[in-house]
Structure 1
């Protein structure tokens, strides 16, 4: 196991709860076995939430009842938080949420999880792996397989369709026919999910190194049209091109940029999608701005960066298959002319000053942001053609 298992604060947590009452579970175990970076640590325990909190607080460990109704508390440890969840089994589900009861058996807890590779438990001291449903074999085969009947698991939580594709894009290579068919047959159930949950999963998928093949399969199997009907063949081709050009120029992956690639370059459509997915105002504004891109406008990269900002310019260049490197880390210059200088030259304050400022600035941009001396020449040229101010 990785170095995270040797953390002193985790050893303290295990000592407080008892080694036989703790198992590391889920992503931390899975990612360690794959030699991937471990970001979050989750633990399972047969102890009830109140007892977990009492023991930890008595030992001076801060706790937050983040999801205590479902058995989850968060221990705030020195080297990072750990979510601790009491063993559970589902009592009832409706495709969006589950009613759970606490359990005592590790296998019962594993049985309610989504995929076999997420149901691996590690003993905190011996690091022995408990694998109840063949997760180790699936992990070795890079196969994403539902625990039990795929359709039943999806009916319990419809979001598992999108989680399946996200995990397939991240870890998978060998397709599971049963899972693929179940996701296709039950794709319509995604309509009942909250838009926020859909957006979170979609952006997580698009943020992976290369989601193109998975997104294409989602479209071919009728899943993508349920959550993003705007993404047609041309948009899928643009996503494929974008992934390639990002790699070519060493650009970091960005899920919102990739979402923009999956939409027609029409701001009104982007605005509608952003509203439907309940994106934040900042995300909505950015997505709408990227939809205003035009590969035919011929605007120079630095001019684009000056007008739209470095980030927006970078994304627009990438989306239109252009080299973004000229704008990356480019210090955007400040226009070296103020309205008062124009008034001082005899132009009456008002709209004429604003017009002259815009004209000089536009020429300054077109000439590649020359220095102060050239700006004064440009102003003089514009003034010679400006109307005489009224007395």
Structure 2
């Protein structure tokens, strides 16, 4: 039998001075904590972001923050969200709302005064938990506490209706399932996601890419990614993916105590084809640096080569990508610092080589010898240069 969760919370973050001042400014009767902060506190997890819901309309929130000299940002004021910038970190404050209309991508909302009505428009029961800012009493209208205790990710109300309101909820479902869910998963949720998977095509690539990267960055997304493939969801957004390769990578990361890395996981999912990797990076709206790293991982071969030589030529991150995807040992990189090549072009010119392309060629050949010998100290460079200039093997 599942152990029930407490119906009150009393975390350290609720006792922060800046949080207490914010509650006093808004009025404890006007505001409640909501969503991830409440959920993660109940699970004993670190709380990163604090969100509040309020019956006050955005202009009133702005005015109260101003009167208390609390820095405020109208983050999404048209949709009811104001950010209070506090010494301990920002807090998003959103006016209670209900949906007037939705098209699967955007919602037109109206402000409300009913807490349950606000909760009803949220995605999952475990995200519709509110807490009184003074007593910590948890308000739960949709059995979110029971679902959280059972590690069950369940849509509020009709799963298909929730997804039709915002198609991105399909990917959010799988991310929350990977983070919090147990098996077997909620049958209605999976069925709805499979049935409406094609609606993901209507979303912006950036939103899809961001959600996928968040999912891939979790401790072990491999079983969830495999399930997405089975249900036909993965084929809509990333048909090139190989879930088996991801599972192998995650196993290597765990075995070698390497921290999870979303971009590396994405690289493992994709075949070793540089143009395809660059195409996916553009599809997901990744940064230039991320695109370059994904392409380097896609240029891999079956045998990645000597780890330190790989790290010297590609950088530590890209070397780890290739080694782990190949199932190779990364221990040689450990605390090793990538050295700087100690030979300069001027030293070669001083030995009688005319300035120009030949200097670069000699420099490159000596560098290759230096790498092959395992990066010996600077005194060895003179011998390697002598050998190169005289055509000797050593």
Fold shared, TM-score > 0.5 on shorter chain = yes
- Cα distance in structure 2, aligned partners of 1:60 and 1:296: 60
Q: How does 1:268-347 map to 2 (within 5 A)?
A: 268-296=275-303, 299-347=305-353
Q: Which residue of 1 aligns with 2:267?
A: 260
What is the aligned residue count? 382
Residue 60 of structure 2 is aligned to residue 51 of structure 1: yes
User: 1:118–1:135: 8 Å Cα contact kept in structure 2?
Assistant: yes
**Residue number among 13, 20, 36 corresponding to 1:11 in the alignment:** 20
Counterpart Cα distance in 1 of 2:71 and 2:379: 63
Q: Where does residue 353 of structure 1 map in the other structure? A: 359
Q: Once the 2 structures are TM-superposed, how far is the Cα of residue 82 of structure 1 from its aligned partner?
A: 0.6
Question: What pairs up with 1:1-391 in 2 under 5 angstroms?
Answer: 1=9, 2-174=11-183, 175-231=185-241, 235-296=242-303, 299-385=305-391
Q: How far apart in 2 are the matches of 1:377 and 1:77? A: 61
Answer whether contact 2:303 2:326 (CA < 8 A) is retained: no
Tell me how far 1:329 sits from its aligned partner. Answer: 3.0
TM-score by length of 2: 0.95
CA contact (8 A) 1:162 1:202 kept: yes
SS of 2:83 mapped into structure 1? strand
Maintained 8 Å contact 2:153/2:186: yes
* Structure 2, unpaired ranges of 5+: 1-8
Q: Alpha-carbon deviation of 1:44?
A: 0.4
2:343 touches 2:381 (CA, 8 Å); kept in 1?
Answer: yes
TM-score normalised by L of structure 1: 0.96
CA shift at 1:268, angstroms?
0.9
RMSD: 1.1
Deviations 1:218-272 (A, max 9, x none): 00100001110111xxx32211111111111110100000000000011111001
In structure 2, how many angstroms separate the alpha carbons of the residues matched to 1:48 and 1:372? 68
Contact 2:267–2:294 (Cα < 8 Å) also in 1: yes
Q: Deviations over 1:277-332 (max 9, x none)?
A: 111111111111111111325x2111111111112112211111111121133111
Q: Is the 8 A contact 1:184 1:221 kept in 2?
A: yes
Of 261-270 and 310-319, more deviation after overlay is shown by 310-319
Q: Alpha-carbon deviation of 1:353?
A: 1.3
Tell me, yes or no, if the aligned pair for 1:302 and 1:327 is still in contact at 8 Å: yes
Q: Which residue in the other structure is 1:389 paired with?
A: none
